[in-house]
């Protein structure tokens, strides 16, 4: 891009790559408003547009020796960088919003005593279930202990007990029915 006086972006970038900070400053002044406008159109936020513009020119400074010009202008490359940064910002904002939704409302903070009481109730219920399991016939008890409590696959339990898989399934079905009936009574 040529400005009055005839200096093109390629010449400014060449001088900036050689370490001329003023040349990069001129490039910044030339394109900063257009880059900010593009960032604002992508985000709808003045503050985010400012951050993205700053980040885009920081990246341009770091990559000034390899920056690709399009028709002698750095602007398309800067627009591409801002677009990528805006997408990253949008994804990050989405992640932050999802995390914020996980935080309980200030009035919904649970009382530690409620948590402890719930754990004690769960432990008492588990003891009840285990007492009922202990009262099952031997084969049903073994199948429940292995399949339900130990999460061992039915095929492995059948091999271990040296019975057919259908036998294990049958004992498991009867045990579940018995457990359901006995626990509903309590």
- Banded pLDDT at 96 (limits 50, 70, 90): confident
Domain 9-102's class?
mainly alpha
For range 139-159, the mean pLDDT: 83
Alpha helices in the chain (DSSP H): 9-17, 21-43, 46-62, 75-102, 112-134, 138-143, 154-161, 165-185
Give the model's confidence band at 117: pLDDT under 50 very low, under 70 low, under 90 confident, else very high.
Answer: low
Q: Look at the block and give the residue holding tokens 């970038």.
A: 13
Helix (H, G, I), strand (E, B) or coil at 12: helix
Q: Torsions phi, psi of 2, nearest 5?
A: -105, 140
* Selected residue with higher pLDDT from 71 and 82: 82
Query: What are the structural domain ranges in the chain?
Result: 9-102, 129-179
Regarding predicted confidence, which is higher, 51 or 123? 51
DSSP classification of residue 137: -
Angle between helices 75-102 and 21-43 (to 10 degrees): 50
pLDDT at 85: 92
The answer to whether residues 139 and 171 touch, using CB atoms and an 8 Å cutoff, is: yes
179/109 Cα distance (integer angstroms): 35
129-179 CATH, one of 3.40.50.300, 3.10.180.10, 3.20.20.70, 1.10.10.10? 1.10.10.10
Q: How confident is the model over 53-74, as pLDDT tens digits?
A: 999 999 999 998 888 888 888 8
pTM exceeds 0.85, yes or no: no
- 157-161, long-range: CB within 8 Å, 24+ apart, which pairs? none
Q: Is residue 142's pLDDT more than 80?
A: yes
- Tens of pLDDT, residue by residue over 70-79, are 888 888 889 9
Q: Quick one: pLDDT at residue 134?
A: 79
Confidence of residue 52 (pLDDT cuts 50, 70, 90): very high
């Amino acid at each position: 891009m040529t400005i009055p006086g005839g200096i093109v972006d390629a010449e400014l970038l060449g001088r900036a790559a050689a370490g001329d900070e003023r040349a990069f400053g001129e490039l910044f002044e030339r394109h900063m408003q257009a880059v900010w406008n593009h960032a604002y159109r992508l985000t709808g936020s003045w503050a985010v547009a400012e951050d993205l513009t700053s980040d885009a020119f920081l990246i341009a400074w770091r990559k000034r020796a390899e920056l690709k010009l399009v028709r002698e202008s750095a602007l398309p490359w800067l627009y591409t960088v801002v677009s990528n940064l805006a997408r990253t910002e949008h994804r990050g904002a989405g992640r932050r919003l999802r995390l914020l939704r996980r935080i309980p409302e200030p009035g919904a903070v649970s009382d530690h005593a409620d948590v402890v009481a719930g754990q004690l109730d769960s432990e008492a219920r588990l003891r009840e279930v285990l007492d009922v399991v202990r009262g099952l016939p031997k084969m049903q008890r073994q199948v429940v202990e292995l399949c339900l409590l130990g999460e061992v696959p039915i095929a492995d339990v059948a091999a271990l007990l040296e019975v057919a898989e259908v036998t294990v399934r049958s004992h498991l079905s009867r045990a579940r029915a018995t457990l359901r009936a006995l626990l509903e009574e309590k």
